[in-house]
Amino acid sequence: MNRRVYMDHTATTPLDPRVLEAMQPYFSEKFGNASSVHQYGQEAKAALELSRDRIAAFIHAKPAEIFFTTGGTESDNFAIKGAALAARAKGRKHIITNRSEHHAVLETCEYLEEIGYAVSYLPVDEYGMVDPDAVRRAVTPGTCLVSIMHANNEVGTINPIEEIAGIAHEHGILFHTDTVQTVGKIPVDVGAMGIDLLGISGHKIYGPKGIGAIYIKKGVEIEKFMHGGGQERGRRAGTENVPLAVGLGKTIELREMEMAEESIRLQTLKERLRRGIEERLEGHIFNGHLTHSLSHILNVSFNRSKIDIDGDVLLLSMDLNGVAVTSGSACTSGSMDPSHVLLAMGRDERTAKATLRFSMGKMNTEEDVEYVLDVLEDVVTKIGKPTSRNHNS
DSSP state for residue 15 in the 8-state scheme: P
Is residue 331 among the annotated active site residues?
yes
Q: What share of the chain is helix, strand, coil (3-state, %, to 5)?
A: 45, 15, 40
Roughly what angle, to the nearest 10 degrees, separates helices 242-280 and 39-58?
30
Instruction: State how beta strands 143-147 and 94-98 pair.
Output: parallel
CA distance 300 to 124: 18
List 15, 57, 331, 343, catalytic entry: 331
Spatial separation of the C-alpha atoms in residues 370 and 264, rounded to whole Å:
19
**Cα dihedral sign, 300-301-307-309:** positive
Q: What are phi and psi of 116, to 5 degrees?
A: 110, 5
Count the alpha carbons within 13 Å of 337 in the hemisphere toward its beta carbon.
10
- The DSSP letter of residue 27 is G
User: Cα-atom radius of gyration of the chain, to the nearest Å?
Assistant: 22
- In sequence order, the β-bridge partners of residue 293 are 157
- Show which residues are catalytic: 331
